[in-house]
Amino acid sequence: MARRLLGRLAYGSRYDRVPWGQRVYVRPGERLMREAQWRYLISRAPVLPLAAYQQARPLGEIEEFLSCMMCGESRQQPLYEPTGGNGWRYHVVRCPSCGFLYRNPNVRPERLGDLYSTGYSNFLTGKYAANRQRRYDLTMRAFSPVFDEGKERRLLDFGSGVGLFLELAEQRGFDAYGVDLSPESVEQANERLSRARTYFGAPQDVPEIAAGGFDVITLWSVLAHLPRPLEDFERFRGLLAPGGVLLILTVNARSLLLKAYGAGWSGFTKNHLMFYSSRTVRTLLARTGFAGVAFAPHYGDTIEAGTTNLPAGLAARLRRNVDRSDGGNMMRVLAFADEEAIGRYGGGPLRVHRLRA
Ligand SMILES: [Zn+2]
């Protein structure tokens, strides 16, 4: 309420018709103000030894305390306490060494299934499905030419859900496979798909997938759900063929929207465990044997699809502010397995950053 009032005082009603997710990127001066607000928060929030932090927090039955998985730092900087429907609530800390944001206490990997009760796949239909597929298309376009032509290249969609992406992949000619931890979703996906196939379980449990040799692996809104990201990424690296690439779409922990809305940020959803930025995702990739990475800024699906109601001047300002700040509210990442992959795709518009372990 106070935020709305401040906005009204500063900007009047001029931006009332701009959706919330776009407003912070188009109001003049707001980017600099939010970034200053963030720096102030970081400078003020206490930094606690893990033992002291643990004493101050209750530990749920399915939970465990963590140190930073990206750099090993054990000290904790408590930042946010997101809450939501049905009474879920958790604590988000920042690593004072590398800036990684994660839920602490976190969920024990063997109890992850408790987060995904049955019925999880039911909402993935209708308009939601159409919007998702548009998002996949826009992201593939942003990384053109990597996804332009499947040509029977081997593709693995990790966390394939009801098969919405695999459907697009098989249309483009990929030899496509999926894995998912929801048996209902796997069943629905296999009904939807004609050539592509999805399997229940982890990649190492499915012989067709454990064989590896993938040219492309995709993680659509999956990264933030992984409780042991380093182990998973070592496995992904091993499943990639020479010249292979891995695509990630995930919420961006350096989003201007997070800086503006704090605990109310859309990326703090019930089942998200860890929150990556361009910096911390580089650490993850470097530590698990990837050779390079490229980022595609996310201006929002309606802007990129050309269906936005924003006047052209404001849309241009939004793009400028996304470029100057954080790359947008979603982070789109293409990781290159080796020099061969960089050589194959890195010459065009994609700017590749080389990684060192
Ligand atoms: Zn760290």
Q: What is the pLDDT of residue 11?
A: 84
Q: What angle do CA 222, 103, 124 make, to 5 degrees?
A: 30
Q: What is the pLDDT of residue 112?
A: 83
Instruction: Of 239, 296, 295, 259, give the one whose Cα is nearest residue 3.
Output: 259
Q: What is the pLDDT of residue 194?
A: 96
One-character DSSP codes across 285-298: HHHTT--EEEEE--
132: left (phi over 0), alpha (psi -120 to 50) or beta: alpha
Ligand 1 centre and the CA of 95: distance in Å? Answer: 5
Residues of the chain with confidence (pLDDT) below 50: none
Q: What does the DSSP 8-state code read for residue 205?
A: G
Q: What is the pLDDT of residue 321?
A: 94
Ligand 1 centre and the CA of 100: distance in Å? Answer: 5
Q: What is the pLDDT of residue 20?
A: 86
CA distance 224 to 249: 10
CA distance 81 to 268: 9
Ligand 1 centre and the CA of 47: distance in Å? Answer: 13
Those residues whose C-beta lies under 8 Å from the C-beta of residue 71, and which sit 6 or more positions away, are 95, 97, 98, 100, 283
> What are 173-226's pLDDT values in tens digits?
999 999 998 899 999 999 999 999 999 999 999 999 999 999 999 999 999 999
Tokens 């992984």, residue located: 226
Q: What is the pTM of this model?
A: 0.94
Q: What is the pLDDT of residue 125?
A: 64
> What are 161-172's pLDDT values in tens digits?
999 999 999 999
**Alpha helix segments (H runs only) across 27-163:** 30-44, 50-55, 126-142
**Token reading at 185:** 């979703």
Q: Which residues surround ligand 1, an ion (CB under 5 A)?
A: 68, 70-71, 73, 95, 97-98, 100
Amino acid, res. 346: G
Q: What is the pLDDT of residue 1?
A: 57
Q: What is the pLDDT of residue 119?
A: 55
Ligand 1 centre and the CA of 69: distance in Å? Answer: 7
278-287 helix and 229-239 helix, angle to the nearest 10 degrees: 60
> What are 262-301's pLDDT values in tens digits?
999 999 999 999 999 999 999 999 999 999 999 999 999 9
